[in-house]
Structures are given as C-alpha cells and as structure tokens.
Amino acid sequence: MAKHNYAAGPCVLPQDVFKKAAEAVLDLDGIGLSVLEISHRSKEFIAVMEKAQSLVKEILSVPEGYSVLFLQGGASLQFLMVPFNLLNTNGKAAYIETGAWAKKAYKEAAALGNAEVLASSADKNYNYIPKGFEVPKGLDYLHITTNNTIYGTQFKEYPTTDGLLIADMSSDIFSQKIDISKFDLIYAGAQKNLGPAGTTLVIVKDEILAKTDRKIPSMLDYQIHAKADSMFNTPPVFSIYVAMLNLEHMKAQGGIEAIQKHNEEKAAMLYNEIDKNPLFVGTAELEDRSNMNVCFLLTDESKKEAFDKAWAAAEISGIKGHRSVGGYRASIYNALTKESVQALVDTMAKLA
Amino acid sequence: MAKHNYAAGPCVLPQDVFKKAAEAVLDLDGIGLSVLEISHRSKEFIAVMEKAQSLVKEILSVPEGYSVLFLQGGASLQFLMVPFNLLNTNGKAAYIETGAWAKKAYKEAAALGNAEVLASSADKNYNYIPKGFEVPKGLDYLHITTNNTIYGTQFKEYPTTDGLLIADMSSDIFSQKIDISKFDLIYAGAQKNLGPAGTTLVIVKDEILAKTDRKIPSMLDYQIHAKADSMFNTPPVFSIYVAMLNLEHMKAQGGIEAIQKHNEEKAAMLYNEIDKNPLFVGTAELEDRSNMNVCFLLTDESKKEAFDKAWAAAEISGIKGHRSVGGYRASIYNALTKESVQALVDTMAKLA
C-alpha cells in the first residue's frame, strides 16, 4: 500500500506517472530499449524534450518570447547563473530574504557582484513575507523566492521593479495560475510539483539575455543552453521524461485552474483543522500561509509521543518539521490526494 | 525483444539493472514509496548514497585520502569546476587535446585563467593519442581525456607531471583496472559505464582542495560538496540509485578484472573482423584503439545501403558514426554483451 507522502521534496508524484515511468524503464513505448539507455540525440528523446517544453508553455500559458529550458544543478546552480547572466559588473541586484534558500541565492550573487538584501523576515524566523518595502530604481534585477518550503510562507502578490523580476519558484510552480509576463526569469528545481530530482526548469525571456558585460562560462550561460535547446551537454534524460509524463498528467487533470482549485481545497482542509484544534498552532502569519507547505506546532509538547505514533500508524510519512522551525511540516504538493490530507486531519482531530 | 544497443552514451546498461530500477520506481524495497518520491534526507537514500560511494571505492580500489562525489552537470560542468578549484590566478594548466571534448575542457580553463594545449592530435582529426611531448615543470595541473568517444582512441599509458594529474574518464571509467593513486582528480559523466545520464562521478584527492587563491562559487566548490557528502543541494536521486544498482552488478560480475577481460575480448572480436574484412577499415591508429568505441568506415561506399539495411535487420541500433568522423561507431561499453558484438561481427562478415 502506498503511504501518505508529505515529504518536502523530492516528494509525491501521481501513481499513474510512477506506473508509466516504470514501464519505460523496461521498454520505452515498445521500441525495444529502456528510457535509461536511449541516446539524448535519438528521435525518441528529442520528442520527449519537445513535448515537455510545449506542455510547460501550454499549462503555464507562457507568452511568446520566452524559452523553456531543462537544465541541471537545481535551484542552487541557478543562484549562480542568475547573477552571472544578469548582474552587470557595475550593476546592482536586490533580494528579498524570505528564508534560508533566498539567503543562499543572495550570497552567491553578493560573492560575484553588487547585491543587497532589500527586505528580510529573518527577525521572526521567516514566518512572514516582508511588505511595504520600497524597490529602488535602476536595479539590474529584483529576486524573490515565491514559496518558502521550510517556513510555510508564500508570496500572494509579487513586488514590481523597473529592473528584471527573477523568481525562484521551486516549490510552488505548477500549483497555481501565474502571470508569466510579470517575470523575466523563473527557475525551479523539478523535485516538487514537476518531477523527480535531477532537472531544473528555467523559463526565461529571450530579450534579457546576452546583455551583461560579464564573461559567462559556457555551462552557466542561458543563451548557450537556449540555442542548443537544452542539449548543450547530455541532459538528464530520465528526469525530463518523468517531468513530461507528469505534465501530461497535469493537462489531463484539467490544467492549472483545476490544479489550483484542488490545492486550495487541500490547504483549507488542513489549515481549518490547525485553527480549530486547540492542540495545534500554525507557525506562519495567516496572510502569508503557503498552500504548499503547512507548518505547525503542538501547543502541548506532552502530546508529541502520542501524535507521532498516531500519524505513523496512519501510514503518514515525511511530516517532521525542518530543524530550524521544529514541529511539523505537511507538504501538500499537487500529487498529494485529498484522501491523504484527510488522513492527517483525522489523526489531528482524534488527538484532541 | 531488446535491441543490440551500440549507442555512444547514454547507452546500454544491464537488463537486470533495468528490472530492479523499474521495480523501485513502483515501490522501493517494499517501503510503500517510489524511489522517485523519497526525500534525499531519508535513511533509505542516505544508504543508497553510502553504498554507491563505497562500491566505487571497492571496485576501483580507491586509496585512502580520496573523496567520491556524485554531482550534476556532466563532464561539461567539470570543465569549469576543475580550473575554478585547481588553477591559481597566477598558475598554469596544460591540456592534451585528443578530441572535441578535450578541446571544450581546455576552452573553459583558458577562459578563466592561464591554460595551454601541450599536445594535440587535431592534425589527423584526432585519430591518435599524442606521445613524446615534454610536460613542463611547475604546472598547476595536466588534464587528459582518457578515452575519446567520437574518434575511438584511448590512452594506454598516462603522462606524468610534477603538478596534479586530472582526467576526464567519462567513457572508460569502470572498463578496466586503473591505478587511482596516479591521479589527483578523476571525473566522469555517468552515462556510459556507470548509470543513466544525470549524475557525474568525481574522485578527488582530499589534500589538493582549498589550495588555490580563487574565490569559488558554492556549487562549483569540490570541498563544499565533499563536506556535505554530495548533499549540499538535492542530488539526482534516481540516477545515483541506478548507478548503485549497476555498481552492485559490476561487483557480482567479478569486479574490475572480470569486466576488463570481458571488454578486451569484445574489442578483439570486433577489431579482428574490421582488420580481416576487406570491406571495412578502422579510423584510429592501431596502438591507440579504444576498447570502448570502435570507429570504422566502409572501404566501398557503394555497400552503404546494403550494410545499413543489414544491421538494422539484425536489431542493431546506435552504430552511426559521429558526423565529424563519419562511417560507423560501435560503442561496446561494459553492459553490451558478446552476443550483441557477435551480431554485428556476423553482419559485417556476411556483407563481404
């Protein structure tokens, strides 16, 4: 029996995707070869890559003039690629520090050039999204982390800038409708709502590239990857294949509107229980609560052993909170079912 | 029926590995979770990572004092990481240019610092391994590409240097016994003899790290990855899992001696046919012939259509030569069976 998998990423994907992926590991579409042994230059894989790219464009309504790339190195390599490609040697970048990952992104930029933290919620252990800050004019770019996995916060409105707007959407891309045209570059490690670990999605406005005065190493150059259609070097074939299967699944589910509705309903189920159950308290500010990662604490620590036993008995896994927040974190990504959320809600209700 | 897969990489892996990988995509060792949805911090994946690292050490007899890393970005990212970590701002690196990949490695180093091509076989389209060149004293490092996939050449003896010796072994690692202690850093994209595309093996002597005067971005810093046990960022879980399965398979096969014997026998079968069959001629110098990639041409181009039909009918795939060499390239990596080699030899013999 499959567990209720609340892992923060890598995380649950649809059972249907696992089934198709397992079949392709044995024999891809009946061609007599495993998906693990085909050349990335084969017509089969070129079709996979094209389909994955076109499904991303379709599902997210990506406007003309943007390239969709599948790279490697996760968000962590993007922390470096973004300033290498977009921060001029005499330019300036600003970062909104909403958690440990946003801070890491800032640090890589600051090591390379002139970057500043424009606003931070470090004063309250990142339990809110900073607001009301003024964005200076003349920035090369402003960088935000739209969802903060560790702390369970999420931008509900995005800041604006006369520079480029760059977003790390690793943990909420494909969870809701977004207006891509507001962003100049979006990146996301695949291992939440897109696919297994091993590939990184980049959606970049073509016209912003090749404009800095910096010498960019080949593997860090978005333009090189874009020109080579994400095949400048051998791509992570299987991760992209599974992402493609999952994108097909998203489309079949009814697209982004249906996914968003499902996610909002799941989040409401869990936050409702947290708010009405006297044994639990959420850690994030109400207005900034994430629909992807629900962080909460026990109000009575003496109940810890009983609760931990109860959720384990209910076949729930992966809800231990990150060490920097403590308590619990229920990651309720796209593929987590309402049945799984109900299993946790029931376990919490029974404890009270 | 499985095809005879001669692809140059990604390439054939053992059928047994495909079978176990497919099972794990559905349910990893009966834990109720797919290998694609487990956290990289789970005890299950930590065990996979540890086992993969220890099997690399065991199979290759890696001496004490070396770290085994599983990274991302393929050899192409190593082309950048090597000079970032090992080339001082006032130092010098030398490269042996034995093909397109060696040239790319050199280019990334030369864009960052002082690097020179010490010897090249570009004059004969890389159909031999340069020899007899003098290695200057005082190099930060000397870089070689031990096997040249496109041209079918392979170093049989390695040059020596009073600097560090660095090798791209992407296409011949795990194919033969090597004395790791001769090298300071070895890297290899996984997608030949190790596993599916998506991870990069690095074997690095710990004492060479943290010695340059260069500021190294986090994701390009070997020491950061080594300290974090290859989990500085989310690793490519599935690629490493399949590599671990394949390493187990190598060990069960009898280890590196048995693998080397098998590979030498396969190469002899194919080169013997090329040398005795008047319709074919090898492209690489005899003494530099690769045991992994066998490149050959038809001596009579009018036979092309007949030969192409014949191998396709024999369920052979992936033997088209690289465009820069033309003709045919039979990549006979570890997992390609003697039966597959025999199928090609028979097809060639019948044509004569």
Nearest to B22 among A22, A199, A219 (CB): A22
Task: Assess whether pLDDT exceeds 70 at residue A31.
Answer: yes
**What are the chain B neighbours of A79 within 8 Å (beta carbons)?**
218-219
Q: Are residues B217 and B333 in the same domain?
A: no
Listed residues B253, B280, B295: the one ending a domain: B253
Which pLDDT value is given to residue A45? 98
| Cβ atoms within 10 Å of B162's Cβ, excluding its own | 11
Distance in Å, alpha carbon of B217 to nearest chain A alpha carbon: 7
Distance in Å, alpha carbon of B351 to nearest chain A alpha carbon: 25
Q: Which of A190, A165, A349, A335 is closest to A250 using CA atoms?
A: A335
Task: Tell me whether residue A297 is exposed, middle or buried, using C-beta atoms within 10 angstroms of its C-beta: 0 to 12, 13 to 18, 19 or more.
Answer: middle
More confident residue, A1 or A62: A62
Q: Region A34-48: what's the mean pLDDT?
A: 97
Exactly one of B20, B192, B205, B266 is catalytic; which is it? B192
Provide the number of structural domains found in chain A.
2
**Catalytic residue list contains A19:** no
Q: Are residues A78 and A201 in the same domain?
A: yes
Q: Which of B5, B35, B37, B171 to mutate to test the interface with A (most CBs of A within 10 A)?
A: B37
Q: Are residues A235 and A336 in the same domain?
A: no
Distance in Å, alpha carbon of A184 to nearest chain B alpha carbon: 23
Chain-chain contact of A238 with B237 (C-beta, under 8 angstroms) = no
Eight-state DSSP code of residue B90: T
Task: Assess whether pLDDT exceeds 70 at residue B1.
Answer: no
Q: Region A146-167: what's the mean pLDDT?
A: 98
Distance in Å, alpha carbon of A320 to nearest chain B alpha carbon: 11
Q: Which of B350, B299, B292, B276 is closest to B6 using CA atoms?
A: B292
Strand ranges of the sheet holding A93-97, from the earlier edge strand across to the other edge: A66-71, A200-205, A185-189, A164-168, A141-145, A93-97, A115-120
Exactly one of A140, A168, A172, A288 is catalytic; which is it? A168
Residue pairs spanning A and B at CB distance below 8 A: 197
**B5 touches A at CB < 8 Å:** yes
Q: Are residues A261 and A249 in the same domain?
A: no
The verdict on residue B262 lying in a domain is yes
- The one-letter code for the residue type at A315 is E
**B12 touches A at CB < 8 Å:** yes
Q: Are residues A247 and A187 in the same domain?
A: yes
The alpha carbon dihedral of B255, B258, B261, B267 has a sign of negative
pTM for the model = 0.98
The verdict on residue B3 lying in a domain is no
Chain-chain contact of B238 with A197 (C-beta, under 8 angstroms) = yes
Q: What is the DSSP string of A138-165?
A: T-SEEEEESEETTTTEE-SS----SSEE
Q: Are residues A163 and A310 in the same domain?
A: no
Which residue of chain B is at minimal alpha-carbon distance from A77? B219
Q: Are residues A123 and A66 in the same domain?
A: yes
**A317 touches B at CB < 8 Å:** yes
Rounded to whole angstroms, the maximal C-alpha distance in chain B is 61
Q: Are the CB atoms for A231 and A215 separated by under 8 Å? A: no
Listed residues A237, A253, A269: the one ending a domain: A253
Task: Report A:164-193 residues touching B (Cβ under 8 A).
Answer: 189, 191
Q: Which of A6, A234, A331 to mutate to test the interface with B (most CBs of B within 10 A)?
A: A234
The verdict on residue A37 lying in a domain is yes
Beta strands in chain B, from DSSP E residues, in sequence order: 4-5, 66-71, 93-97, 115-120, 141-145, 147-148, 153-154, 164-168, 185-189, 200-205, 280-282, 293-298, 316-317, 328-331
The verdict on residue B319 lying in a domain is yes
Q: Region B215-240: what's the mean pLDDT?
A: 97
Which residue of chain A is at minimal alpha-carbon distance from B16? A26
- Dist. CA A194–CA A200, nearest whole Å: 9
Output the domain CATH number for residue B334: 3.90.1150.10
Strand, helix or coil for residue B120? strand
Chain-chain contact of B73 with A77 (C-beta, under 8 angstroms) = yes
- Dist. CA B191–CA B13, nearest whole Å: 9
**Which residues on neighbouring strands pair with residue A68, listed in sequence order?**
A203
Whole-number Cα distances in Å, A338 to A4, A262, A264, A332: 10, 8, 11, 9
Write the pLDDT tens digit of every residue in A77-134.
999 999 999 999 999 999 999 999 999 999 999 999 999 999 999 999 999 999 999 9
Write the pLDDT tens digit of every residue in A216-250.
999 999 999 999 999 999 999 999 999 999 999 99
Q: Are residues A205 and A339 in the same domain?
A: no
Q: Which of A106, A88, A92 is closest to A215 using CA atoms?
A: A88
Task: Assess whether pLDDT exceeds 90 at residue A2.
Answer: no
**What are the chain B neighbours of A42 within 8 Å (beta carbons)?**
7
Which pLDDT value is given to residue A1? 59
Write the pLDDT tens digit of every residue in A269-325.
999 999 999 999 999 999 999 999 999 999 999 999 999 999 999 999 999 999 999
Chain-chain contact of B37 with A76 (C-beta, under 8 angstroms) = no
The verdict on residue A6 lying in a domain is no
Which pLDDT value is given to residue A135? 98
Q: Are residues A64 and A153 in the same domain?
A: yes
The verdict on residue B260 lying in a domain is yes
Q: Are residues B38 and B148 in the same domain?
A: yes
Write the pLDDT tens digit of every residue in B325-341.
999 999 999 999 999 99
Q: Which of B34, B42, B241 is closest to A12 using CA atoms?
A: B34
Which pLDDT value is given to residue B201? 98
The β-bridge relationship of strands B200-205 and B293-298 is unpaired
Instruction: Give the confidence band of A55 by pLDDT, cuts at 50, 70, 90.
Output: very high
Nearest to A234 among B40, B42, B74 (CB): B74
The alpha carbon dihedral of B67, B71, B75, B79 has a sign of negative
* A101-130: b (≥16 Cβ within 10 Å) or e: bbbbbbbbbbebbbbebbbbbeeeebbbbb
Which pLDDT value is given to residue A280? 98
Q: Containing domain of residue A291, as a range?
A: 255-351
Radius of gyration of chain A (CA): 21
Q: Are the CB atoms for A267 and A291 separated by under 8 Å? A: yes
Chain-chain contact of A73 with B77 (C-beta, under 8 angstroms) = yes
The verdict on residue A10 lying in a domain is no
Q: Are residues B223 and B304 in the same domain?
A: no
Nearest to A10 among B26, B237, B242 (CB): B237
Beta strands in chain A, from DSSP E residues, in sequence order: 4-5, 66-71, 93-97, 115-120, 141-145, 147-148, 153-154, 164-168, 185-189, 200-205, 280-282, 293-298, 316-317, 328-331
Instruction: Give the confidence band of B318 by pLDDT, cuts at 50, 70, 90.
Output: very high
The verdict on residue A49 lying in a domain is yes
Distance in Å, alpha carbon of B133 to nearest chain A alpha carbon: 29
Q: Are residues A204 and A259 in the same domain?
A: no
Write the pLDDT tens digit of every residue in B266-283.
999 999 999 999 999 999
- Percent of chain A exceeding pLDDT 90 equals 99
The β-bridge relationship of strands A185-189 and A200-205 is antiparallel
Listed residues A215, A230, A253: the one ending a domain: A253
Q: Region A51-76: what's the mean pLDDT?
A: 98
Q: Which of B218, B172, B189, B176 is closest to B105 using CA atoms?
A: B189
Which pLDDT value is given to residue B2? 76
**What are the chain B neighbours of A33 within 8 Å (beta carbons)?**
2-3, 5, 317
Chain-chain contact of B36 with A23 (C-beta, under 8 angstroms) = no
**A83 touches B at CB < 8 Å:** no
Task: Report A:212-271 residues touching B (Cβ under 8 A).
Answer: 215, 217-220, 232-239, 242
Radius of gyration of chain B (CA): 21
Output the domain CATH number for residue B34: 3.40.640.10
Backbone angles phi, psi at B319, to 5 degrees: -100, 10
Write the pLDDT tens digit of every residue in B91-119.
999 999 999 999 999 999 999 999 999 99
Q: Region B68-85: what's the mean pLDDT?
A: 98
